[in-house]
């Protein structure tokens, strides 16, 4: 009986040793899993903090861009208003220029009749004046030049034709000389 008791005690000892071994192996495995979970949790936390920081930077950048956009819209509105004013002034000046040109054309038709003489006249402008001349008068000056060419200088005729044109307030007018 002692040998049976010794073999039962030996078997119980072996089972206890197996349980302790299994428990230590499970403990090591649990520690490894816990360590891996801690690492993964730390990585996730770091990723979250980086994403939060990037989000905050992007939100700040968006806010700055919105402020810049609002400032640029305000500047654009000012420039557009200035452009409209300049366009209106330009159109007004074009109309005045057209009125002055039409007045000059009337003066040119009268000047072509007087092409034989050197003549300076002061005539009132058509329709009661007010075409940019503070005195209400339109002044036209006409000069006549006589040019004699040698027969071998054919090209000079073209140049002399241009010299017979007068410059009247921005327009070249051919006097038909």
**What is the predicted pLDDT for the residue at 97?**
92
**What is the predicted pLDDT for the residue at 104?**
78
Domain locations along the chain: 19-177
**What is the predicted pLDDT for the residue at 135?**
53
Q: SS3 for the chain, per residue?
A: CHHHHHHHHHHHHHHHHHHHHHHHHHHHHHHHHHHHHHHHHHHHHHHHHHHHHHHHHHHHHHHHHHHHHHHHHHHHHHHHHHHHHHHHHHHHHHHHHHHHHHHHHHHHHHHHHCCCCCEEEEECCHHHCCCCCCCCCEEEEECCCCCCCCCCCHHHHHHHHHHCEEEECCEEEECCC
**What is the predicted pLDDT for the residue at 149?**
54
pLDDT digits (tens, 9 = 90+) for 152-164: 544 444 444 444 4
**What is the predicted pLDDT for the residue at 103?**
81
Residues in the chain where the model's pLDDT stays below 50: 116-125, 128-133, 153-177
**What is the predicted pLDDT for the residue at 111?**
57
**What is the predicted pLDDT for the residue at 63?**
97
């Amino acid at each position: 009986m002692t040998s049976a008791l010794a073999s039962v005690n030996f078997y119980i000892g072996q089972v206890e040793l197996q349980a302790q071994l299994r428990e230590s192996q499970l403990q090591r495995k649990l520690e490894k899993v816990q360590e891996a979970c801690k690492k993964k949790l730390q990585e996730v936390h770091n990723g979250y903090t980086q994403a939060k920081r990037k989000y905050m930077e992007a939100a700040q950048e968006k806010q700055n861009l919105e402020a810049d956009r609002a400032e640029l819209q305000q500047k654009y509105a000012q420039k557009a208003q200035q452009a409209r004013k300049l366009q209106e002034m330009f159109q007004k000046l074009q109309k005045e220029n057209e009125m002055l040109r039409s007045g000059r054309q009337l003066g040119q038709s009268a000047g072509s009749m007087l092409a034989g003489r050197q003549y300076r006249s002061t005539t009132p402008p058509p329709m009661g004046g007010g075409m940019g001349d503070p005195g209400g008068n339109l002044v036209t000056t006409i000069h006549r030049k006589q040019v004699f060419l040698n027969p071998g200088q054919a090209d000079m005729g073209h140049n002399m034709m241009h010299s017979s044109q007068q410059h009247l307030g921005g327009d070249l007018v051919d006097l038909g000389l």
